[in-house]
């Protein structure tokens, strides 16, 4: 059914459609609308779920680990500081092979309180064993959240659905909201592989010596690899019911592109506009949107960038002491390819700074006019700021 929904509500609706049973959340801007909608659904009976109003994000993830281990489908949402606080337990959720799904609203990290979009928070968690999807618009958010449960449960790993602060979370867009019956056809009730059960007692998370820990981690690694192929199959099923698919990556006009932008999140939407514009002026630009970040779709990326002469990665994040994170990952993907183009890394939109078409154009020309990258990362739009001393 077509509706105009705020991005946050789109998340909440998807959670409702997924028939989540236990929700736990701690409020943090700009995630708050998500949890407020869900609170309301639980209170009015629109959703049959328990809502745990825990006292911190760390407790939030702990509660979900407890609930999921007891055999129910769970959900939470957080952002920025909250995600950072959860860090220890993100590792725990994946190591415990729990298919928890979380909506993560990309927000800048303090100090300097900054509630606006920045990808550093979610990318800083890229090692935690969570599958990560970066969404471009509200429709994608709804679809990806539903798919996330199916994918998570298929490989027994948790999934993070990432959306930009305010640009996605607080923007109203028309979306096609699935009916409950359709969602049920796509996503069956949760059947836990293992759970806390008095009839069949076991102990989760005991001491694990070196002799077997490595094997457990390897099993997780293998599951991550499988997630990649499972995702394609899940998208097949989704497309059959709903008529939509996204792909782990989306290559736009890459076949004959000389320069390919690598983007993620809402920047992709802006990039599409700039693509149209530049192509109309005869520039051979392509866009590679990365949706699935973990597991990193090495093959898809290598394939999409095979023909490019230059690659320009736009990172709305930074790994201090290194470079933008998408750039690092793309460089790593291309390193062992037979031939690959130089990768230009650009840092833009940090801490909510707007990534306008002009910013993307600047990036295009910088890329075109330099044979090789002048340095690992080029920060776009830096200003001289003087306030007091």
**Please, which residue, 236 or 354, has the CB nearer to another protein?**
236
**Please, which residue, 33 or 97, has the CB nearer to another protein?**
97
DSSP 222-234: HHHHHHHHHHHHH
How far is residue 346's CA from residue 339's CA, in Å, rounded to a whole number? 22
**Please, which residue, 125 or 268, has the CB nearer to another protein?**
125
**Please, which residue, 155 or 275, has the CB nearer to another protein?**
155
**Identified binder of another protein from the candidate list 110, 193, 273, 322, rule CB under 8 A:** 193
Mapped onto helix, strand or coil, the DSSP state of residue 130 is coil
From first CA to last CA, the distance across the chain in angstroms is 56
Q: How far is the CB of 54 from another protein (least distance, A)?
A: 6
Q: How far is the CB of 66 from another protein (least distance, A)?
A: 3
**Identified binder of another protein from the candidate list 237, 258, 361, 362, rule CB under 8 A:** 237
Residue 81, sorted as left (phi over 0), alpha (psi -120 to 50) or beta, turns out to be: alpha
How far is residue 314's CA from residue 262's CA, in Å, rounded to a whole number? 6
Q: How far is the CB of 221 from another protein (least distance, A)?
A: 12
**Please, which residue, 39 or 269, has the CB nearer to another protein?**
39
Is residue 141 a contact partner of residue 82, using CB atoms and an 8 Å limit?
no
**Please, which residue, 207 or 371, has the CB nearer to another protein?**
207
Is residue 293 a contact partner of residue 330, using CB atoms and an 8 Å limit?
no
Q: How far is the CB of 44 from another protein (least distance, A)?
A: 17
Q: How far is the CB of 240 from another protein (least distance, A)?
A: 10
Q: Please tell me whether residue 239 binds another protein under the rule CB under 8 A.
A: no
Is residue 291 a contact partner of residue 343, using CB atoms and an 8 Å limit?
no
- Exposed e or buried b per residue across 16-48, where buried means at least 16 C-beta atoms within 10 angstroms of its C-beta: bbbbbbbbbbbbbbbbbbbbebbbebbeeeebe
Q: Please tell me whether residue 252 binds another protein under the rule CB under 8 A.
A: no
Q: What is the CA radius of gyration of the chain?
A: 21
Q: Please tell me whether residue 226 binds another protein under the rule CB under 8 A.
A: yes
**Please, which residue, 211 or 280, has the CB nearer to another protein?**
211
Print the binding letters for residues 134-173 with another protein: x by CB under 8 A, - otherwise.
----------------x--xxxx-----------------
Print the binding letters for residues 21-60 with another protein: x by CB under 8 A, - otherwise.
xx-x-----------------------xxx-xxxxx-xxx
Interface of this chain with another protein, residues 198 to 217, rule: CB under 8 A: 198, 201-209, 212, 215-216
How far is residue 102's CA from residue 115's CA, in Å, rounded to a whole number? 19
DSSP 29-51: TTTHHHHHHHHHHHHHTSS--EE
Interface of this chain with another protein, residues 80 to 109, rule: CB under 8 A: 88-89, 92, 95-97
**Identified binder of another protein from the candidate list 186, 242, 261, 364, rule CB under 8 A:** 186
Q: Please tell me whether residue 243 binds another protein under the rule CB under 8 A.
A: no
Q: Please tell me whether residue 70 binds another protein under the rule CB under 8 A.
A: yes
Is residue 185 a contact partner of residue 49, using CB atoms and an 8 Å limit?
no
Q: Which residue has the tokens 């705020």?
A: 6
Q: How far is the CB of 61 from another protein (least distance, A)?
A: 8
**Please, which residue, 107 or 150, has the CB nearer to another protein?**
150
* Phi, psi of 251, rounded to the nearest 5 degrees: -95, 115
Mapped onto helix, strand or coil, the DSSP state of residue 353 is coil
Task: State the number of binding residues for another protein (CB under 8 A).
Answer: 69
Q: How far is the CB of 300 from another protein (least distance, A)?
A: 20
HSE value, Cβ hemisphere, 13 Å, CA-based, for 281: 10
Tell me the residue length of the chain. Answer: 389
Which structure tokens are listed for 103?
């909506």
Give the interface with another protein as residue ranges (CB under 8 A): 21-22, 24, 48-50, 52-56, 58-60, 62-72, 74, 88-89, 92, 95-97, 150, 153-156, 184-189, 191, 193-194, 196-198, 201-209, 212, 215-216, 219, 222-223, 226, 230, 233-234, 237
């Amino acid at each position: 059914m077509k509706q105009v929904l705020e991005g946050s509500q789109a998340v909440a609706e998807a959670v409702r459609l997924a028939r989540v049973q236990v929700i736990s959340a701690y409020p943090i801007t700009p995630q708050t609308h998500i949890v407020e909608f869900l609170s309301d659904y639980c209170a009015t009976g629109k959703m049959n779920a328990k809502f745990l109003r825990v006292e911190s994000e760390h407790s939030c993830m702990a509660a979900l680990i407890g609930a999921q281990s007891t055999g129910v489908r769970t959900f939470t949402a957080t952002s920025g500081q909250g995600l950072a606080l959860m860090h220890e337990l993100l590792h725990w959720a994946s190591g415990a092979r729990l298919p928890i799904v979380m909506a993560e609203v990309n927000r800048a990290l303090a100090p300097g309180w900054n509630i606006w979009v920045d990808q550093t928070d979610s990318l800083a968690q890229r090692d935690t064993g969570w599958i990560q999807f970066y969404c471009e618009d509200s429709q994608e958010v709804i679809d990806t959240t539903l798919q996330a449960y199916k994918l998570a449960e298929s490989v027994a790993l948790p999934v993070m659905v990432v959306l930009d602060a305010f640009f996605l979370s607080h923007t109203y867009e028309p979306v096609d909201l699935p009916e409950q019956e359709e969602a049920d056809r796509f996503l069956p009730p949760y059947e836990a592989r293992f759970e806390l059960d008095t009839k069949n007692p076991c102990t989760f998370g005991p001491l694990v010596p070196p002799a077997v820990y490595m094997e457990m981690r390897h099993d997780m690694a293998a599951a991550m690899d499988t997630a990649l192929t499972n995702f394609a199959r899940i998208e097949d099923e989704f497309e059959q019911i709903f008529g939509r698919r996204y792909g782990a990556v989306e290559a736009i006009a890459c076949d004959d592109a000389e320069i390919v932008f690598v983007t993620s999140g809402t920047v992709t939407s802006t990039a599409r506009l700039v693509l149209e514009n530049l192509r109309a002026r005869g520039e051979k630009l392509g866009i590679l949107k990365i949706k699935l970040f973990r597991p990193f779709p090495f093959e898809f990326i290598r394939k999409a960038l095979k023909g490019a002469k230059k690659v320009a990665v736009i990172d709305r994040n930074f790994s201090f002491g290194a470079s933008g994170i998408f750039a690092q990952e793309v460089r790593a993907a291309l390193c062992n390819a037979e031939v690959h183009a130089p990768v230009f890394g650009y840092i833009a939109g940090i801490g909510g700074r707007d990534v306008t078409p002009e910013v993307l154009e600047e990036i295009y020309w910088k890329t075109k006019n330099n044979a090789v990258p002048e340095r690992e990362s080029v920060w776009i739009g830096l200003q001289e700021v003087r306030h007091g001393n």
